[in-house]
Copies of this chain bind each other. A is one copy, B any other.
Amino acid sequence: MTTHIRRTGDFRWDGIPVSAYKPGGTHFAGITRQLLFEGGEGLGCQLRYFEVAPTGYSSLERHRHAHAIMVIRGRGRALVGDRILELGTHDLVRVPPRTWHQFRADGEEPFGFLCMVDCGRDSPERPDQDELSDLRADPAIAEFIRI
């Protein structure tokens, strides 16, 4: 593994591919993933960089593992539990276990954030119709979420 990985341009890194956010689906849009540190060899966690285009959004999901997030580009908004957060560069967000969350860009610039997770983690789940109804009981959340 390379010791020093240079930033090569605007939020791109030497030898690190810009990947699809997830294998496929229509429950997300305009979002890419770069795996900055994959873990292993003395490290039980990963650091990923996600970038959301101005009209994009991540998947509305939850899981048992937690996320620890730092914004490093632009501005965005996030649903975390029952709160909608307004996020700027270098703000931190903790997504606790089993908490619904979704990220959206806010503005004309891409919205980029680091996300730290354990290497060993469970798969995300998406809301079923009952859970969606519960979420939509709050008008602000109903307006915010994209599925």
Residues of A within 8 A of B (CB): 1-7, 11, 13, 36-37, 41-45, 47, 64-66, 68, 70, 72, 80-81, 83, 85, 87-97, 114, 116-118
Contact A44 B118 (CB under 8 A): yes
Contacts of A83 in B (CB 8 A): 3-4
**How many copies of this chain does one complex carry?**
2
State A13–B66 Cα separation when bound (angstroms). 20
- The prevalent SS among residues of A at the interface is strand
Contacts of A37 in B (CB 8 A): 68, 92, 94, 116
State A48–B145 Cα separation when bound (angstroms). 31
Contact B70 A114 (CB under 8 A): yes
Contact B43 A116 (CB under 8 A): yes
Q: A43-B45, A44-B45 are in contact. List 18 more A-B contacts (CB 8 A).
A: A3-B81, A3-B83, A3-B85, A5-B93, A6-B91, A6-B92, A7-B91, A37-B116, A41-B96, A42-B65, A44-B44, A45-B68, A45-B116, A45-B118, A47-B68, A47-B116, A70-B114, A72-B72
Contact B42 A92 (CB under 8 A): no
Contact A4 B47 (CB under 8 A): no
Contacts of A72 in B (CB 8 A): 72, 90
